Homo-oligomer: A and B are copies of this chain.
């Protein structure tokens, strides 16, 4: 069991029931867009407003506690910041999975063949997930 309040505090964010719920949803679901979050939280807080969701998401991004994942042809989703990883996205159902990839060969190649000094990667692999591949 995770202590969401302590997690929030460790990122310098005041604890409120709404914030705890946001973090809990993201922790349990991995990736969610604004609407998903809003609908989920509405059942717990019937009078929560979208403005509250936006303000909190932005505050959490500011503290580098959350990050936004931009995917082609899809609304952005948000996730808790963790170890760098790639996203596998199903082009059929939109399902998103995390995978920690060995990117050393790509990094070496990019650093050797360009003038860039690369320091982070953002990799999205698109395809069909297990259930949509049938």
Q: Which residues of A are interface residues toward B (Cβ below 8 A)? A: 67-68, 70-72, 86, 88, 90-91, 97, 99, 101-103, 105-107, 109-110, 113-130, 133
Contacts and interface: CB of A to CB of B under 8 A. Distances in A.
A113 B99 contact: yes
Contacts of A116: 88, 90, 97, 125, 127-130, 133
Contacts of A121: 123-126
B114 A106 contact: no
Residue of A72, A101, A125 contacting most chain B CB atoms (<10 Å):
A125
A118 B86 CA distance: 12
Copies held by the complex: 2
Contact of A72 (B70, B86, B103): B70
Nearest to A61: B73
B122 A127 contact: no
A101 B90 contact: no
Given A118-B126, A126-B119, A103 B106 contact: yes
Contact of A122 (B107, B115, B123, B128): B123
A60 B68 CA distance: 27
Q: Which 3 A-B pairs have the closest CB atoms?
A: A115-B130, A118-B127, A70-B70
A4 to B, nearest CB: 25
